[in-house]
C-alpha cells in the first residue's frame, strides 16, 4: 500500500526554489537570500482578517530579528478571481500604505503555494542556514484578536535556533483563512491537508 503524501512540506525538507515578482517590480529567487542565517517565509494576502490584525505583530518580529541575520519573505498565492482584493496591484498599494519590512512576492500560478503546502493565511515556514525546514505553522495563538495572544511560537522557534537549542515546538497548526485556490470553492482545503499536530 502506497503511503499517502503529506500536503504540507514535512519538517527537515529543503526549501523549494521560487522565482516570483515582488511589489518592488523585481523578481526574487531563493538564492537571493543566501546571506540569511535563518529564513522565514510566510504565505499571506491582502484581505484576510487574521493577516490584517496580526501584520503589526509580524512587523515587530521582523524588526526584532532583522539585525540578527533573519530574513522575512511574504508570498501572496491567493486567487484574485476569488478575492479581487488579492491582486498584484493591491499588493503594491498595501505595501505603499504600510511599508512592511519584508519582501512581498506574488505567486500568480499558485505553484509555490503547492510546493510548500500552504494551508492558510498566514502560514509560516522557518528554514535554517542550510534551508532545511525547522518550524512550520502559526506565528501567534490569536492572530485575529491580538489582545488575546498568549504565545508567539514563531519567535520561540527563532530564539531556539539562534541560541543553538533544539526547537521545542517545531510544528503547530496555522490559524487563518484558507488559501484561495483557483477554480475551487473559497473554503476548499486539500483532502490530505489534515491538522499538522
What sign has the CA pseudo-torsion 170, 19, 53, 176? Answer: negative
pTM: 0.95
pLDDT at residue 119 is higher than 80: yes
pLDDT band at 5 (very low <50, low <70, confident <90, very high): low
CB 105 within 8 A of CB 74: yes
pLDDT tens digits, one per residue of 132-170: 999 999 999 999 999 999 999 999 999 999 999 999 999
In order of their start, the domains of the chain are 13-178 (3.40.30.10)
CB 172 within 8 A of CB 153: yes
pLDDT band at 189 (very low <50, low <70, confident <90, very high): confident
Amino acid at each position: 500500500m502506497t503511503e499517502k503524501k503529506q500536503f504540507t512540506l514535512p519538517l527537515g525538507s529543503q526549501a523549494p526554489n521560487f522565482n516570483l515578482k515582488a511589489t518592488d517590480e523585481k523578481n526574487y529567487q531563493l538564492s537571493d537570500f543566501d546571506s540569511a542565517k535563518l529564513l522565514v517565509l510566510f504565505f499571506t494576502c491582502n484581505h484576510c482578517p487574521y493577516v490584517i490584525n496580526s501584520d503589526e505583530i509580524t512587523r515587530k518580529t521582523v524588526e526584532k530579528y532583522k539585525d540578527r541575520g533573519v530574513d522575512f519573505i511574504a508570498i501572496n498565492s491567493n486567487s484574485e478571481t476569488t478575492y479581487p482584493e488579492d491582486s498584484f496591484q493591491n499588493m503594491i498599494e498595501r505595501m505603499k500604505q504600510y511599508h512592511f519590512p519584508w519582501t512581498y512576492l506574488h505567486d500568480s500560478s499558485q505553484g509555490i503555494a503547492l510546493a510548500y503546502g500552504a494551508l492558510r493565511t498566514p502560514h509560516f515556514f522557518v528554514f535554517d542556514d542550510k534551508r532545511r525546514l525547522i518550524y512550520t505553522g502559526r506565528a501567534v495563538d490569536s492572530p485575529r484578536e491580538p489582545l488575546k495572544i498568549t504565545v508567539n511560537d514563531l519567535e520561540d522557534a527563532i530564539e531556539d535556533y539562534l541560541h543553538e537549542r533544539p526547537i521545542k515546538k517545531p510544528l503547530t497548526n496555522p490559524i487563518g483563512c484558507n488559501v484561495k485556490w483557483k477554480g475551487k470553492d473559497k473554503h476548499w482545503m486539500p483532502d490530505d491537508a489534515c491538522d499538522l499536530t
